[in-house]
Amino acid sequence: MELKKDSNAVSIDMLLIVHSEKRRAAQGMHSDRQADPGAPPQRRGLQGVGNGIRKWQKLEGNDLYGNLAEKQHPQQTQVITSYDNQGTHLTVEVHPQDTMPQLLKKFSLAKRDKNGNTRPRQPGGKDAHAYPWDRSSLKSMPLDLRQFEKLDTYASQVMVKSGLDELVNDLLQETHSDLERVRAIWIWICHHIEYDIEAAQEKDRQAFKLTDILRTQKTNCDGYAELFEKMCRIAGVQCMTVPGYSKGFGYQTGQSFSGEFDHVWNAVYLEGRWHLVDSTWGSGLVDTTTSKFTFLYNEFYFLTHPALFIEDHFPDNKNWQLLKPPQSLRQFENNMYHKSEFYNKGMLSAHPETSMIRTVNGKATITMESCAPTLFMFMLNGKQEHGLLSLRKNGMKLDIYPPTMGTHKLQIFAKGNSDIYSSVLEYTLKCNYVDLGVRLPAELHQPMGPSWFSEQMGILKPSHPDPIIHTSDGRCSITFGVEEGISVLASLHGDDGLITEETQRRYIFQLHREKRTELKVQLPRAGKFALKIFVKKRQEPGNYVFVFNYLLCCSNTKVKWPMFPESFGNWGQDNELLEPLAGVLPANRNVPFKLKLHGVAKALVKGQDTWPLTLNSEGYWEGSCSTAGCQDVYVMVLENANHNFYSYILKYKVSDQ
């Protein structure tokens, strides 16, 4: 006898000669029922609740006995079929004495369940995917989700009429392959079955019945998995239920796993390989603050790539990881946990790759790589403070400076293709040193510095590509190109109260030269300041939109610059102010003025008296004004020579001294 094994079955090549008069003896021999004491225990139920999820417990089950079937035609080939207690199927043909049998017969020992159906094979080498993830796809097989659009719409609208068989039959009306059958079942469950939190939290609760799940359209993870498996089997698709540990609702970073399993999911057999799905997590989420379930479809858990599925699913049998090499439980506990949104938003990697970070000299640096340009934001202990986040072409860099020693929670959010930021990563920061020299303004919003986003918003080729600008004398000049039809607004923010909401823009003077904008900045003191940049399309209504900011740093304690003069709406985009730049003029002095003004007929300066400005050969309006006897000085222009109405364009204060 030669025994051959492959991943699907066991076959035997056997020389078999049986005389017909011995058939009765053969029948008697095969009809003895023997229990196999070495048979594996059968899963019989679910017990216990933990973290709001029902837990699996393996119980010893009754043996499944074999049966004997034989055709009753003495002159024809007789067939004896037997099932042992492990579901092994053995077929033996018995030939009459006067018939020449085939000397070599091959018998298939295929696994069967207690109903006689073929039992799905266990996963093998050809099901395994390489670990770590190769970034090729989020799925375990090539998929174009657009092919499911009509089927998804149809399946999500199918209603339960009577029983499960009729429901599956209705779902399969628009399907043409096993993949589409599985997809229709998955979509229906994810859009119709609600996670039953209250029932899941009850102690000593019996397993959900499928009839009750269809009636109430509520269940927990074991009910989701059982329903999915049953519907797949009705549809003729091999499916298995897989229990294990999970990093789901209630999971805490760094926690260890032991004892009963807290979750269950499914594996489906498609196109010659096993694939993983989790319809519980595909249907929605539980709010950690209110403990309420919300339907929120998550495509990520349909045929998830095993190298990604292992991040939050650890099966009881390592073969169901579908990985080579498989991961240990310790690796599962220690590996960085990337939420499904991490991949849904197009993230590829993050560094550090551990969930707990220790600061170095009071600082921690996190970088992320994405498959496309993406907007990010962060929160440290629930606030967008104490960090510098700069965008990269495909990712971001974040420097965090915790304000106190101890443990801190850092959350990173990404926007992706949607209008909503989603949490994609969480870190625990351990800080044992605080750099008192690093104090960032509270108004320092994200992102920092120019990037692909500012270019997309119309700000081009900035003179300062880095987000941090150091100035020794408290002054700096920043220039950049601006797309046609875009207006720019800037404001300065500090933490000491010297800069009020009214004066945020008075320490910045904006000039325009040959399609480039210049921002002249004067700081009121030494320290750190946030320079915010906003844009708006001139022809469109609405407010200015924040684009990015610079961090301005000055350590010179002698710095004490005054504000720039206040400008009014008639100050033209292409106007240029050369002097005076200080918004506060000395008292009782003659002050020179020099400006470049476009499209004006006349210009003058008005204090207690009026002083006209004259246009020189270089195109500048020049003149002087006495500040004696006045508190304010205005620059005024006449745009039309045929009119007598002058407009205010600049306002200066006069010092009390």
At 217, the amino acid letter reads Q
Token duo for residue 313: 């699913």
Q: What string of DSSP letters covers 257-324?
A: --SSB-EEEEEEEETTEEEEE-HHHHHEEE-TTT--EEE---GGGEEE-HHHHTTTEEESSGGGG-EE
36 as an active site residue: the answer is no
Query: Using CA atoms, how far apart are residues 323 and 133, in angstroms rounded to an integer?
Result: 10
Residue from 299, 398, 415 nearest 357 by CA: 398
At 460, the amino acid letter reads L
* Choice among 30, 89, 129, 263 that is catalytic: 263
The neighbour count for residue 11, using CB atoms within 10 Å, is 17
At 235, the amino acid letter reads A
263 as an active site residue: the answer is yes
495 as an active site residue: the answer is no
Read off φ and ψ for residue 174, nearest 5 degrees. -105, 15
Token duo for residue 157: 């609208």
**Bridge-based pairing state of the strands 293-295 and 302-304:** unpaired
Grouping H, G, I as helix, E, B as strand and the rest as coil, residue 152 is: helix
Token duo for residue 330: 């310790």
Query: Using CA atoms, how far apart are residues 269 and 236, in angstroms rounded to an integer?
Result: 10
Determine the Cα angle at 576 with ends 574 and 579, to 5°. 170
Determine the Cα angle at 236 with ends 231 and 237, to 5°. 75
Residue 614 to residues 62, 512, 594, Cα–Cα distance (Å): 107, 22, 10
List CB contacts of 6: < 8 A, sequence separation 6 or more: none
Q: Which H/E stretch holds residue 454?
A: helix 452-456
Token duo for residue 439: 């104090």
> What b/e sequence results for 129-153 when a residue is b if at least 16 CB atoms lie within 10 Å of its CB, and e otherwise?
bebebeeeebbbeebeeeebeebbe
Q: Which residues pair with 596 in a beta bridge?
A: 576
- Where do we find the tokens 């710095």? 559
* Choice among 278, 312, 338, 431 that is catalytic: 278
Q: What string of DSSP letters covers 101-134?
A: --SEEEEE--BB-TTSPBPPPPP-GGG-EESS--
Query: Using CA atoms, how far apart are residues 302 and 317, in angstroms rounded to an integer?
Result: 20
Token duo for residue 50: 């933990």
Helices (H), 293-349: 306-309, 329-334, 340-344
Residue 140 to residues 275, 306, 404, 640, Cα–Cα distance (Å): 7, 7, 44, 72
List CB contacts of 325: < 8 A, sequence separation 6 or more: 131
Answer yes or no: are the C-beta atoms of 424 and 345 closer than 8 Å: yes
Q: Which H/E stretch holds residue 279?
A: helix 279-283
Q: Which H/E stretch holds residue 27?
A: helix 23-30
Q: Which residues pair with 267 in a beta bridge?
A: 240, 276
Report the residue count for the chain: 657
* Choice among 129, 152, 221, 431 that is catalytic: 221
Token duo for residue 87: 């579901």
Residue from 339, 15, 268, 4 nearest 121 by CA: 268
Active site amino acids? 221, 263, 278
